[in-house]
Amino acid sequence: MAIVAQTPDILGERQSGQDVRTQNVVACQAVANIVKSSLGPVGLDKMLVDDIGDVTITNDGATILKMLEVEHPAAKVLVELAELQDREVGDGTTSVVILAAELLKRANDLVRNKIHPTSIISGYRLAMREACKYVDEKLAVKVEKLGKDSLVNCAKTSMSSKLIAIDSDFFANLVVDAVQGVKTTNARGEVKYPIKSINILKAHGKSAKDSYLLNGYALNTGRAAQGMPTKVAPARIACLDFNLQKTKMQMGVQVLVTDPRELEKIREREADITKERIQKLLKAGANVVLTTKGIDDMSLKYFVEAGAIAVRRVRKEDLRHVAKATGATVVTTFADMEGEETFDSSFLGHADEVIEERIADDDVILIKGTKNTSAVSLILRGANDYMLDEMDRALHDALCIVKRTLESNTVVAGGGAVEAALSVYLEYLATTLGSREQLAIAEFAESLLVIPKVLAVNAAKDATELVAKLRAYHHTAQTKADKQHLSSMGLDLSKGTTRNNLEAGVIEPAMSKVKIIQFATEAAITILRIDDMIRLIKDERENEED
């Protein structure tokens, strides 16, 4: 029931108690229902058309939710949750939203049955901690036991629900090679895989199978002039963030000329300033110049004469990555402390060679053999833009997953295996507690089953029967010491049966599962704590006075 505050100072409406909770849960359910059907290897895609008519076809949870304009404040929490999962892990965005909505729905039922939200929250927190501990101790398997194939399998599992699932063997190998290509060891001796230095270029034409891996960082632009060499080796790269054009006075600066003959001198000096800048660059030894802004024809002439490659309109983030990989410094101005213009050769980055190649109908600049971190590029081919965009998103997820697997070194079985095992374990745990949290933990255990259920429903299989079988297997695995191997039983959704998913190669990094459980619980708790919503209405009278 909405109460309109009658006090003269506050205008707005206030909803409190059960009303708000139900409303929040309904809003979150609505968001989860949108992404629900896109979970799993047979999940369906969504077609999103924005207000200017741009079309996106995807089944990546984070992308779908980012494109929806969600009004409801509680549902916005879910959208942010998907983005957080995307940033932290890279994959599992759909699962995390579905799980959070399910936890909320069950918590709401408990509140209706006169259980205080605080008890539910502490129960959920306890269940989350126990679940994460159980995954790490009992379900996680070290990658060494499974060999190199496990990386490929992780990538395949991540791609199984995407558009490129048919060619997942081919793409999984590409992804694993790409991630291993950027392996670096930092000063502390930790091995890192900066997937930011994997550049994904999309080129029309040919089929998806014709995508390939290039050693070097590829820029999606060509040389600025035809007279420049197509190859420079060894390359010394200058990264600039300003115009190399005929110098003009800044906006608002006026030059009053009394003698018309002086005008020509001013023009000459303007041209000379740019010429001097370029001479400074070339004198410092630069033979490749990348700038985010423009270079005009007059300036290009000097580069052509010096036999250097100049590239204009490079994307800022590309420039940053190139600077990082080659050890260059991005220069925003030549001015030094004394007000003179200088360019020091220490600002230059180094690479073995810079070449221009033709890919499809476009020219691309390849920077090979970079000094600091090795950089690789994935060149994607495909029929049309929508396909390429979706391939890009699928590969981003797979790259993140392979990175996480390599860095955390533990994997778990996929296909609903972890959720079923946790559900059985937490249900047993709930019965050992004599406090109010028992009910909340039991509901948490039930909620986890939403993942295998949705997987089965999306595959057009009998969810009730499959989930029951799964639970039976996991119960046996947890109660009988000699049946431990059953703990990796999961769903085989193409045949509609259960199978050992570790052996079948359906695996995910353990970290991904742990994060899904943590984030979903946190989001559910955040929304569950709300019991009052006050929406202010703008005061019309003030406007009239203004």
| Residues in the chain, overall count | 546
- Report the alpha-carbon angle 312-336-223, nearest 5: 10
* SS percent in the chain: helix, strand, coil, step 5: 55, 20, 30
Which residue out of 56, 58, 63, 93 is catalytically annotated? Answer: 93
**Among the listed residues 440, 442, 416, the one whose alpha carbon sits nearest the alpha carbon of residue 427:** 442
Higher-confidence residue of 10 and 485: namely 485
Residues 6 or more apart whose Cβ sits within 8 Å of residue 465: none
Catalytic residue from among 56, 63, 94, 291: 94
- Return the structure tokens found at 503: 């052996």
pLDDT band at 104 (very low <50, low <70, confident <90, very high): very high
- The mean of the pLDDT values for the chain is 83
Helix (H) or strand (E) holding 153: helix 149-159
3 state SS of 365: strand
pLDDT for res 4: 53
Q: Which of 45, 56, 60, 91 is catalytic?
A: 60
For 253-262, write each residue's pLDDT tens digit.
777 788 877 7
- The separation between CA 41 and the C-alpha centre of its own chain, rounded to angstroms, equals 20
Q: C-alpha angle 253/255/257, rounded to 5°?
A: 170
- pLDDT of residue 172 exceeding 90, the answer is no
- Mark whether 479 is an active-site residue: no
Helix (H, G, I), strand (E, B) or coil at 66: helix
Mean pLDDT of 266-286: 80
Question: Is 93 a known active-site residue?
Answer: yes
For residue 1, name the pLDDT band (cuts at 50, 70, 90).
low
CATH class of 217-373: alpha beta
Sign of the Cα pseudo-torsion (432, 433, 436, 440, in order)? negative
Q: Is the pLDDT of residue 544 over 70?
A: no
- For residue 314 the two structure tokens come to 């490079």
Quickly state the pLDDT bin for 540 (edges 50, 70, 90): low
Decide if pLDDT at 9 tops 70. no
Which residue, 289, 197, 195, is CA-closest to 242?
289
Domain boundaries, the chain: 18-142+412-530, 217-373
Active-site entry in 45, 91, 389, 397: 397
Residue-by-residue DSSP string for 441-510: HHHHHHHHTHHHHHHHHHTTS-HHHHHHHHHHHHHHHHH-GGGGGGGGEEEETTTTEEEEHHHHT-EEEH
pTM of the predicted structure, to 2 decimals:
0.82
- 60 is annotated as an active-site residue: yes
Q: What is the 3-state secondary structure (H, E, C) of 136-185?
A: HHHHCEEHHHCCCHHHHHHHHHHHCCCHHHHHHHHHHHHHHHHHHHCCEE
CATH architecture of the domain covering 18-142+412-530: Orthogonal Bundle (1.10)
pLDDT digits 0-9 by tens, 484-513: 778 888 888 888 888 888 888 888 888 888
Collapsing DSSP to helix, strand or coil, 456 comes out as helix
The pLDDT confidence band at residue 167, using thresholds 50, 70 and 90, is confident
